[in-house]
Amino acid sequence: MTRLSVNVNKIATLRNARGGNQPDLVAFVANCERYGAQGITVHPRPDERHIRYSDVENLRPLIKTEFNIEGNPTPQFIELVLKYKPDQVTLVPDDPNQLTSDHGWDTIAYHGFLKNVINQFKTAGIRTSVFVDPVEKFIVGAQAVGADRVELYTESYAARFAFNKENAIADFVEAAKVARELNLGLNAGHDLSLENLSYFHQQIPWVDEVSIGHALISDALYFGLENTIQLYLRQLKDR
């Protein structure tokens, strides 16, 4: 079964726009789980423009499903993850000035760095996932640095889906097969939506987890949170 992890960064962005605690991130996360989400993802950045480091402290004891912290493994990020020990950490090569994630790791060029970071997390008993583009050598490189999973960066799939979905998914199917052959777990995320998620899952039914934030939160404005989560879960059912 493919799990749905809801990325709640956008709720924190909305809260931070006015200060205070409206909307209440903790209450929102509790509702996500109550409505069927099988995981919660946060992505704290150094400027704390959405998720704050204090949010991790507040959320950690309350999350009853799977807690995934993703981000660039700076010393501050590593310290945060080791302190609160989520179920999974996803390493993302973010530049501090990036608006959002826009590429995966070159796991060959950063072999030594990633191996050292992953060893710290695995020693602490935290499952590690590495954010990668759908390129065979980078998936092989993720295995070489000791990752438990890879997360396929799906922006290019989403961007091309409406024009030619067969072409858009092709590289991802091949990448997913490589991960499976290497006994790596498989996650996916970035711009997955109600429009393209079902087809992605049909073509790669062995994906372990999808992490979805922007599209899901946007849909919740129209359909309501409970209904939206159920709509996304429906896309992940075997057909």
* Domain assignment present for 149: yes
Instruction: Decide: 52 and 30 in contact? Cβ < 8 Å.
Output: no
Examine the pLDDT at 62 and tell me if it is beyond 80. Answer: yes
The number of folded domains in the chain is 1
Examine the pLDDT at 74 and tell me if it is beyond 60. Answer: yes
* Domain assignment present for 212: yes
Q: Which domain holds residue 13?
A: 3-234
Examine the pLDDT at 133 and tell me if it is beyond 60. Answer: yes
Query: Among this protein's residues, is 166 annotated catalytic?
Result: no
* Domain assignment present for 54: yes
221 membership: H or E segment, kind and range: helix 214-223
CA 58 to chain centroid: 20
* Domain assignment present for 203: yes
* Domain assignment present for 209: yes
By CB atoms closer than 10 A (0-12, 13-18, 19+), residue 1 is exposed
pLDDT in tens, 9-51: 999 999 999 989 999 999 999 999 999 999 999 999 988 989 9
Beta bridge partners of 5: 39, 211
Examine the pLDDT at 238 and tell me if it is beyond 80. Answer: no
What confidence category does residue 100 fall into, taking pLDDT thresholds of 50, 70 and 90?
Answer: low
* Domain assignment present for 228: yes
pLDDT for the residue numbered 94? 76
* Domain assignment present for 239: no
Query: Among this protein's residues, is 43 annotated catalytic?
Result: yes
Provide the mean pLDDT of the chain: 95
Examine the pLDDT at 102 and tell me if it is beyond 90. Answer: no
Supply the angle between the helices 9-18 and 25-34 in degrees, to the nearest 10: 150
- Choosing from 33, 50, 66, 70, the catalytic residue is 70
- Choosing from 33, 50, 66, 190, the catalytic residue is 190
* Domain assignment present for 47: yes
In the predicted model, what is the mean pLDDT of residues 147-154? 98
Query: Among this protein's residues, is 195 annotated catalytic?
Result: no
Find the CATH number of the domain harbouring 204. Answer: 3.20.20.70
Instruction: Decide: 40 and 68 in contact? Cβ < 8 Å.
Output: yes
pLDDT > 70 in the chain, percent: 96
List, in order, residues 6 or more apart from 23 with CB less than 8 Å away.
Answer: 11, 14, 15
